[in-house]
Amino acid sequence: MNFGIEIKNSQGQILIDGEHPLPKLHAQGRIRTSYEDVRWNYGYLSFNPTSNPVFVTVAIDEEATTSGAIIEIIVERNSSNQFYRTRIETTADIYTFVWVYVL
């Protein structure tokens, strides 16, 4: 079975493809990117800290958003070097759905 996606770590090791198991959903939520930075708007989704690799998918809530685009998705680490939240940067104040998966 092919999932149409391949994810590798920084060493080039394949973490997800048609031969490897799918990741587990770790957190999900709907956020508003209402904080303003010098160039972009941004918002956060915090989740239970994990040392395992994570990846994030996002979608714009088109029912609540008239315009805007997602610019960058950043996963942040805490002082214990664990992943604990994601920062979504956008071109406008929009609502996004966020899903965090653990590999």
Asked if residue 9 belongs to a domain, the reply is no
60 inside domain: yes
The answer to whether residue 17 sits within a structural domain is: no
| Inter-residue contact 68 to 34 (CB < 8 Å) | no
pLDDT tens digit sequence for 56-73: 999 999 898 888 899 999
Cα–Cα distance measured from residue 15 to residue 64, given in angstroms and rounded to the nearest whole number: 34
Residue 7 β-bridge partners:
16
Q: Is the pTM of this model over 0.85?
A: no
Q: DSSP state, 51? A: S
Q: Are 86 and 56 in contact (CB under 8 A)?
A: yes
**Quick check: 20 and 38 in contact, CB under 8 A?**
no
Whether the pLDDT of residue 102 is over 80: the answer is yes
| Nearest of 19, 28, 91 to residue 54 by alpha carbon | 28
Answer yes or no: is 10 within a domain.
no
Contact by Cβ (8 Å): 33, 69: no
Give residue 45's domain range.
23-102
Query: Would you state the pLDDT for residue 7?
Result: 74
Q: Which pLDDT does position 37 carry in this prediction?
A: 82
Q: Average pLDDT over the chain, rounded to whole? A: 87
Domain count, the chain: 1
Rounded mean pLDDT of 67-82?
Answer: 94
